[in-house]
C-alpha cells in the first residue's frame, strides 16, 4: 500500500503561532486532487479532527494560503481545545448538480473507473476526510465538520449520501435551498447571459413561508439516512433565516439528534472571525460565545466518544 504521507507536504508558517500548516493533496473520486491545510496541536499524538469549510469552491492552494492568514482564529481555538483541524478546498458548485445528479455510481471500463456523473464539491470533502483519516496524527474514529453557508449545505449532502464518515457536524447558516428542493419566489431570476439562477437577493426569512415552498417529502427522504448529531446555527437578521430554521425543524421532525441556536451578528459566517492586514483579529463577545458553543458541541460528540 502506498503511504499517502510519505511525500513531504508544503509547509505554511502561520503568523503568531508555532504550529504550522501542512498542505496535502487528497485524491478525489475521479483521480484529481483536492488540497487541504492541516494543523495539529503537537507533532506527536493522535487527535480528533475538524474539517473547516466556507462557501462555494475554487481557488485551490492560493485560497488556502489566504485563509490561513485571514481566518486563523478559529483554528487557534480548536488547536487549544486539542483538535487537529484543516481548511479544505474543493471544486466549484454545480448549479443543481446534487438535486439533478442523484447518487454517484462507479463502474469499471477497460480497467478504469466509469461514473454516471462527475463528483461534486461535497464529494471532494469526502475525499479529504478519507485522506486525512489515514494521517498518523488523526484519529479516524473522531472526525467532525464545521461548514458555513454553502458549506453548511454540503454537510447535509455529505451526511445524507455518505453516512458514517463523520461523528458530528456544525452547519452555520446552511444555504440548504438545493437540499430542500426549494421553489424560489420572484426574488430570484435567471441571468440572461448564463441561464443560471441568480439567488443573491433571495428573501427567505420565515420558516413557515419556506416550508410552503420546499419539497418536504423529498427533504425528509434525504434526511432519513443522516445518522450524526448536527448543530444548526442561524443568524437572526439573515435573509435566509427561514431556510436555516426549517433545516433544523425537519431534522427534529425526523427524530435526528439536532440542536438549534441563533445569534444576532452583522457578519455572515460569524463563527469564522477575520484577521485584518495588520494582524488584528476582529472578534467580539458574540463570536466568542458562538465558537465556545461549537467547541462544546464537538467535545460532546467528537472528542469525548469511545
Residue 182 pLDDT class (50, 70, 90 cuts)? very high
**Mean pLDDT for the stretch of residues 268-280:** 94
**Mean pLDDT for the stretch of residues 228-244:** 98
Cα 137 to Cα 87, 134, 208, 295: the distances in Å are 16, 9, 45, 20
Give the domains, in start order, of the chain with CATH numbers: 10-303 (3.40.50.1820)
Residue 1 pLDDT class (50, 70, 90 cuts)? very low
Choice between 162 and 185, residue whose per-residue pLDDT is larger: 162
Q: Tell me how far apart the alpha carbons of residues 246 and 77 are, in angstroms, rounded to a whole number.
A: 29
pLDDT in tens, 16-67: 899 999 999 999 999 999 999 999 999 999 999 999 999 999 999 999 999 9
To the nearest whole number, what is the mean pLDDT of the chain?
95
Residue 240 pLDDT class (50, 70, 90 cuts)? very high
Statement: residue 2 has pLDDT above 60: no
- pTM here? 0.95
**Mean pLDDT for the stretch of residues 194-208:** 91
Long-range contacts at 19-24 (CB < 8 A, ≥ 24 apart): 19/79, 21/64, 21/68, 21/86, 23/61, 23/64, 24/131, 24/132, 24/135
- How confident is the model at residue 101, as a pLDDT? 94
- How confident is the model at residue 3, as a pLDDT? 61
Which residues have a Cβ under 8 Å from the Cβ of 130 and sit 6 or more positions away? 26, 165
Q: Which of 36, 32, 70, 33 is nearest to 50 (CA)?
A: 36
The pairing of strands 33-39 and 21-27 is antiparallel
Statement: residue 119 has pLDDT above 70: yes
**Mean pLDDT for the stretch of residues 68-91:** 97
Q: How many CA atoms lie within 13 A of 175 on its CB side?
A: 19
pLDDT in tens, 131-171: 999 999 999 999 999 999 999 999 999 999 999 999 999 99
β-bridge partners, 275:
281
User: Percentage of the chain with pLDDT > 90?
Assistant: 90
Q: Which of 17, 13, 37 is nearest to 25 (CA)?
A: 37
Amino acid at each position: 500500500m502506498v503511504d499517502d504521507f510519505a511525500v513531504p507536504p508544503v509547509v505554511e508558517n502561520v503568523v503568531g503561532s508555532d504550529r504550522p500548516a501542512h498542505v496535502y493533496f487528497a485524491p478525489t473520486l475521479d483521480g484529481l486532487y483536492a488540497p487541504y491545510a492541516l494543523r495539529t496541536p503537537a507533532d506527536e499524538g493522535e487527535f480528533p479532527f475538524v474539517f473547516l469549510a466556507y462557501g462555494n469552491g475554487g481557488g485551490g492552494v492560493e485560497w488556502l494560503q489566504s485563509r490561513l492568514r485571514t481566518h486563523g482564529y478559529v483554528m487557534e481555538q480548536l488547536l487549544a481545545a486539542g483538535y487537529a483541524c484543516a481548511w479544505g478546498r474543493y471544486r466549484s458548485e454545480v448549479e443543481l448538480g446534487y438535486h439533478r445528479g442523484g447518487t454517484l455510481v462507479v463502474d469499471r471500463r477497460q480497467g478504469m473507473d466509469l461514473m454516471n456523473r462527475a463528483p461534486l464539491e461535497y464529494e471532494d470533502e469526502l475525499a479529504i476526510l478519507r485522506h486525512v483519516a489515514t494521517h498518523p496524527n488523526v484519529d479516524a474514529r473522531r472526525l467532525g465538520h464545521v461548514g458555513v453557508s454553502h458549506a453548511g449545505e454540503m454537510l447535509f449532502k455529505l451526511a445524507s449520501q455518505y453516512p458514517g464518515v463523520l461523528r458530528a457536524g456544525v452547519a452555520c447558516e446552511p444555504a440548504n435551498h438545493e437540499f430542500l428542493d426549494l421553489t424560489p419566489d420572484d426574488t430570484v431570476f435567471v441571468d440572461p447571459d448564463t441561464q443560471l439562477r441568480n439567488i443573491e437577493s433571495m428573501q427567505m426569512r420565515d420558516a413557515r413561508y419556506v416550508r410552503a415552498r420546499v419539497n418536504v417529502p423529498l427533504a425528509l427522504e434525504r434526511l432519513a439516512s443522516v445518522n450524526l448529531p448536527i448543530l444548526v446555527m442561524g443568524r437572526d437578521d439573515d435573509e435566509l433565516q427561514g431556510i436555516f430554521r426549517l433545516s433544523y425543524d425537519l431534522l427534529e421532525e425526523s427524530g435526528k439528534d439536532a440542536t438549534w441556536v441563533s445569534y444576532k451578528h452583522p457578519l455572515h459566517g460569524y463563527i469564522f472571525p477575520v484577521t485584518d492586514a495588520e494582524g488584528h483579529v476582529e472578534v467580539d463577545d458574540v463570536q466568542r460565545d458562538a465558537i465556545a458553543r461549537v467547541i462544546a458541541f464537538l467535545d460532546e460528540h467528537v472528542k469525548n466518544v469511545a
